[in-house]
A = this chain, B = another copy of it.
Amino acid sequence: MSTAPTRALEHPEREEIRLEAVLHALSDPMRLQVVRFLAELGEEGEAPCSAIELAISKSTTTHHFRVLREAGVINQVYRGTAKMNALRRDDLDALFPGLLDSVLGADAAQRQRTD
Contacts of A103 in B (CB 8 A): 19, 23, 99
Q: Give the contact stretch, choosing among A1-9, A51-59, A90-98.
A: A90-98
Stretch binding the partner chain, chosen from A27-35, A38-46, A73-81 = A27-35
Which interface class (under 10, 10 to 19, 20 to 34, 35 or more) fits A? 20 to 34
Q: Which residues of B contact A113 (CB under 8 A)?
A: 15
Residue A62 at the B interface, CB < 8 A? no
Chain B residues closer than 8 Å to A18, beta-carbon distance: 110
Least CB separation from A18: chain B residue? B110
Contacts of A83 in B (CB 8 A): none
Tell whether, in the assembled complex, residue A110 and residue B95 are in contact, meaning their CB atoms are under 8 Å apart. Answer: yes
Complex contact B26–A23 (CB within 8 A): yes
13 pairs from A and B in contact (CB 8 Å cutoff): A19-B32, A19-B110, A20-B27, A20-B29, A21-B27, A23-B26, A23-B103, A24-B24, A95-B109, A95-B110, A96-B102, A98-B105, A99-B105
In order of increasing CB-CB distance, the 9 nearest A-B pairs are: A96-B106, A23-B27, A24-B27, A98-B102, A99-B102, A102-B102, A19-B110, A19-B106, A23-B23
